[in-house]
A and B are shown apart, each in its own frame.
Chain A
Amino acid sequence: MPQFAILIYADESLHAVRAAEAELEENHQHAKDLSASGTMSLAYALTPRANAVSIRRDSTDAGPFVQADQFVAGFYVVDAPDLNSAVAIARLNPAVRTRTGGVEVRPVHSGGITANNK
């Protein structure tokens, strides 16, 4: 079954280190629906912009790697028969539905969780 990574782009991550549960509700519900339906195999929510560190050969800077209005706030991986299905699943993301950002779908080439003792 092909896998697709869905990268969430938003102005800011909702997941501040001490975020209130209520702020995260819509995201949690969506994650629950995806897990229950068996399409999502892995998901990570990332902390806000300010917690990012970008490293280049000559510099180490605070903030996301690409300077843009929106940045990657999280990502998850879904199993889908083809790109069109993955796009339909991605479109359900609250970031798209609430127009606070958007998502990028990327077919996975290879990979997975690498440690066996997880």
Chain B
Amino acid sequence: MVTAPTDAQAAVEMASAVETARITATLIRVTGDWSLAEDCVQDAFARALVDWPVRGIPRNTGAWLTTVAKNRAIDRMRSAASEKRAVRELAILTELEELPDGSGGNPGADDDRLRLIYTCCHPALPLDARVALTLRTVAGLTTGEIARAFLVSEATMSKRLVRARAKIRNAGIPYRVPPPELISERTAGILAVLYLMFNEGYSATGGATLIREPLVREAIRLTRLLIGLLGGSPHEPEALALLALMLFHHARRGTRTDAAGDLVTLEEQDRGSWDRAAIGEAMALLAAAEHMGISRRSRPGSYRIQAAIAACHMTAPDAGGTDFAKVALLYDHLGQIAPSPVIELNRAVAVAMSQGPEAGLALIDRLEQTRSLDGYYLLPAAKADLLRRLGRRTEAYREYCRARELAPSEVERRYLGKRLAETGPGSSS
């Protein structure tokens, strides 16, 4: 029976989403060779794209892909080993041949994937390498795709990945789930890498567009994968909350820029066009995270608080209906567990919305004096907005100018340029 090409393609995409990390992780465990494992898994998916439309979709797609990837690895190791039949390579070949073909029912596969994520996010690797390696090995993106997402050439990204893999080999970074005394710190590190990946896609630094969709999508997908592997762990509530936080932000993706590609602020966004299903899922995740946290008596971590803040915004009927007093309180909690001047700035904005611009402006002035946010464009931008609302237009104009000089992307510069024109000399508003 011949399957319609679209069905087969959808099946390959689905299998890619569910199986890539599982199969790669298992091959890495057995062969110890990251590039070989990644190449063989890519080959298996390439074969599926050709094979499935013609011969039909296999009943167990994961098992089919595992077998093809495994056989490919055996072929490549055989031809490499034929010249010099090292004992170690023969041992690996034997283990590869004995690898079960099935997936899903293979209880070791989840452990393999967890090992893979912990190794990719090892603190001995530079942060950018952790993100790149996770995208390549766990998410199965091609080097070219990752290079484009980070706006570097494919050659540069390729070198970065080679160096990271070499470091894993040479520095002896263990391919394992860390021992219990390290697991808490390391899991927090993985959540941080995933959030960084999301933010890098969500508010792209540099470049002409605001959102780099593939990074955002992969960060969400990997967080889902991690949650599936963390069941019952003390980190489960924070991981659920992180996913909720990402989905809340992502639900607004269609409304953050207008038809001309210009920035639209949260308060001006068309709430009717927000993705209700994503918000619903995020609310369900956050509720589950909170119940779990309560039943395990764990104090809310930073993702739970940030998700709760996002929930305030996402469930308000309109910008004016947002419970800003609650938002300010949540920022206060957040500042206590993870002190940061950016959080202070956000708290100041929430205070301005609930208690009036003067109260917010006083907090921002105090923050400015600490000089901890020098060079951060959102400080003068927030200050300018409050000054404008107070009718202090000359000062607002000056702050918008500062903000525009510091803005990291073209989209944000254009937005601030518009605000400048509204407050500038000769404008009527």
Contacts and interface: CB of A to CB of B under 8 A. Distances in A.
B275 interface: yes
Contact of B284 (A1, A87, A89, A99): A89
Interface stretch (A7-15, A31-39, A59-67): A31-39
A83 B224 CA distance: 12
B288 A1 contact: no
A54 interface: no
Nearest to B286: A37
Contact of A38 (B228, B280, B292): B280
Contact of A92 (B277, B278, B280, B288): B288
B285 interface: yes
A7 B232 CA distance: 21
A46 interface: no
Nearest to B280: A39
A34 B220 CA distance: 20
B14 A83 contact: yes
Nearest to A37: B283
A52 to B, nearest CB: 27
A22 interface: no
A84 B287 contact: no
A37 B277 CA distance: 9
A88 B243 contact: yes
B17 interface: yes
Nearest to A79: B277
B280 A97 contact: no
Contacts of B232: 97, 99
B287 A88 contact: no
Interface in B259-301: 275-285, 287-288, 291-292
Interface in A1-43: 1, 29-30, 33-34, 36-39
B224 A88 contact: yes
A49 interface: no
A80 B224 contact: no
A85 B277 contact: yes
Contacts of A99: 232
A81 B275 contact: yes
Nearest to B251: A81
B224 A81 contact: no
Contact of B276 (A29, A38, A89, A96): A38
B426 interface: no
A87 B156 CA distance: 36
Contacts of B14: 83
A37 B291 contact: no
Contacts of B221: 84
Contacts of B288: 30, 33, 92
Interface string A67-98: 00000000000011101110111011000110
B231 interface: yes
B247 to A, nearest CB: 8
Nearest to B236: A97
Nearest to B292: A97
Contact of A81 (B227, B277, B283, B287): B277
B278 A85 contact: yes
Contact of A39 (B231, B284, B291): B284
A79 B275 CA distance: 12
A34 B141 CA distance: 33
Nearest to A92: B288
A37 B203 CA distance: 27
A33 B240 CA distance: 14
A88 B231 contact: no
A84 B284 contact: no
B287 A37 contact: yes
B312 to A, nearest CB: 15
A87 B224 contact: yes
Interface string B216-241: 00001100100110011000000010
| A80, A84, A88 interface centre (most CB from chain B within 10 Å) | A88
Contacts of A96: 231
Nearest to B276: A38
A84 B285 CA distance: 14
B277 A80 contact: yes
A91 B227 contact: yes
Contact of B231 (A33, A87, A97): A97
A95 B277 CA distance: 23
Contacts of B280: 37-39, 79
Given A38-B280, A84-B17, A84-B221, 6 more contacts: A33-B288, A39-B280, A84-B220, A88-B227, A88-B285, A97-B231
18 contacts: A34-B284, A37-B279, A37-B282, A38-B283, A39-B280, A39-B281, A79-B277, A81-B275, A84-B220, A85-B277, A85-B278, A88-B285, A89-B284, A91-B231, A92-B240, A96-B231, A97-B292, A99-B232
